Amino acid sequence: MNDHDHQENTMKRIGIIGSGAIGTAIARLALAADYDVLIANSRGPESLSDLIDELGPNAQAGDVRAAADFGDIPVLAVPLTAYPDLPHDAFAGKIILSTGNYYPYREGRIAQLDSLESTTAEYEQALLPNTVIVKAFNNIVAHHIPNLADSAPRTALLIAGDDLEAKARVSTLVDALGFDTVDGGTLADSWRFEPESGAYTRIYAASTEGFAADYLADPGAPVPAGRLREILAASHRPDVAARQF
């Protein structure tokens, strides 16, 4: 296959690893934007038949390797605990859009993150060497995603990565999915939009109090790029070791 054929073949295709809240929300955006979508989870393609029926003919289920190979930029929407179990060779050389966050109740305590030795994104990059991690969609709750896609004014998401070209390509993808992006810097800088940083999920809430009381009932409200830059500039490094969730 020459480069042109490869490009044709991978255009408008996206592989998503993780069929939970965030993976499904991104799948729906991609289908609405005319992408073909292949979704994988831990239990195998058969477990996804109801979801695929619901998503329609442009969605298919596959294993993780198939998702890694479907399109140019696979989306990882799995807990951090899953990263070491992934078939690393299937992702080698790939740009990965990672949505992951560190929730100790789910992951257990990770000393390297508690000590601030690395950000979650740097930790992910170390778990998946030979890939290029770009962080996106990690600082917005799943149910706000469909509500704020292509909002007026357009909502922006934060992205971070060490490779400028990879970041530009992920920005183009996020734009096609319905959001502007604001550059949150490198993987080392990405604490700026980790949980409790001040640039995390509640910034997209329609009501801060309503979100705190019952976040699922909050419909979300647009955050344009200019406002997001201000929020990012005011964010602070969270005390990860004190995190209780």
Ligand X SMILES: NC(=O)c1ccc[n+]([C@@H]2O[C@H](COP(=O)([O-])OP(=O)(O)OC[C@H]3O[C@@H](n4cnc5c(N)ncnc54)[C@H](OP(=O)(O)O)[C@@H]3O)[C@@H](O)[C@H]2O)c1
> For binding to ligand X (CB under 6 A), which residues are involved?
17-23, 40-43, 64, 77-79, 82, 85, 99-101, 103, 138, 141-142
Least distance CB 104 / ligand X (angstroms): 11
Q: What is the DSSP string of 172-223?
A: HHHHHTT-EEEE--STGGGGGGSTTSSSSGGGG-S-HHHHHH-GGG------
**Residue among 87, 92, 93, 79 at smallest CA distance from 63:** 87
Q: Name the residue nearer to ligand X (CB basis): 12 or 107.
A: 107
Q: Which residue is nearest to ligand X (CB)?
A: 20
Q: Name the residue nearer to ligand X (CB basis): 38 or 78.
A: 78
Q: Name the residue nearer to ligand X (CB basis): 12 or 112.
A: 112
Least distance CB 2 / ligand X (angstroms): 32
Q: HSE (CB half, 13 Å, CA atoms) of 68?
A: 14
ω before 84 within 30° of 0 (cis)? no
Least distance CB 172 / ligand X (angstroms): 21
Q: Name the residue nearer to ligand X (CB basis): 12 or 110.
A: 110
Least distance CB 191 / ligand X (angstroms): 15
| H helix or E strand, kind and range, residue 16 | strand 13-17
Least distance CB 80 / ligand X (angstroms): 6
| H helix or E strand, kind and range, residue 90 | helix 88-91
Q: How far apart are CA 149 and CA 6, in angstroms?
A: 29
Q: Name the residue nearer to ligand X (CB basis): 195 or 224.
A: 195
